Amino acid sequence: MVVQSDGRIVSVNDAALVMLGANEKEDVQYRSMADRIDSAAADLASISDRTRPIFELFRGVYEPQPWPVDGIVDAVAATREAYPGAEIVVDCQAPRDVPVASGRAVSIALTEAVENAIVHNDRETPTVEVGIRAVPDPPRLHIDIADDGPGVPTDEWEIVQSGVERPLSHTTGIGLWLINWTVTAVGGKATMAANEPRGTVVRLEVPLEE
């Protein structure tokens, strides 16, 4: 996005074409370049919005607030509304009123996991099954997010857990990092396994209020 001197907001694409001049507006190469700049700018804005709560966690300005399990289920329902073309099934075996420590942060990780399972799915109708259950010792909430997509390469998840990206081992997106960072920051653990017969299962283990 570019703000002009008259206060109007235009896309990078439009601004670039204005600078190129009327005689070059049909030049496919320049149009393609402007499109790529616009796409990159949109991606950066999306990443900023998604990572802001995580940065707050690590900077210590985020105030943990316990949420009932019901609030976690509501986060999945909101994702269902955002992706009507996907089939999202929730099986909640935990009492709905049990408080989840840092519930808002946990909902961010859960939402990211569900969205990640949908957008990287190669099926016409992606299916995501979310299982929620509480365990007493220590008090934890286990959230399993199972999909029927192509799966996540083992080495990619290992890179995320190591915390270091190498030039020859670059992960495909920031979603897995957000999940791992968030769950770790609230004192939990994120793990991943293959789903049967196809796909991935991401498990989030997060603290319950004692």
Tell me what percent of the residues of the chain surpass a pLDDT of 70. Answer: 63
pLDDT at 27 over 60: no
Range list of H helices, 60-198: 69-82, 103-119, 154-162, 175-185
Selected residue with higher pLDDT from 14 and 185 = 185
Domain ranges of the chain: 2-59, 67-207
pLDDT of residue 181: 84
Note the pTM of the prediction, 2 decimals.
Answer: 0.70
- The Cα–Cα gap between 26 and 175 comes to 37
Tell me which amino acid residue 191 is. T
Tell me which amino acid residue 126 is. P
Selected residue with higher pLDDT from 170 and 120 = 120
Question: Tokens 């390469």 belong to which residue?
Answer: 153
pLDDT of residue 37: 52
Strands 189-194 and 200-207 come out as antiparallel
Right CATH number for 67-207 from 3.30.470.30, 3.30.565.10, 3.40.50.300, 3.40.47.10? 3.30.565.10
Q: CA dist 2 to 6, 38, 102, 172, 200, Å?
A: 11, 10, 37, 28, 40
Selected residue with higher pLDDT from 29 and 131 = 131
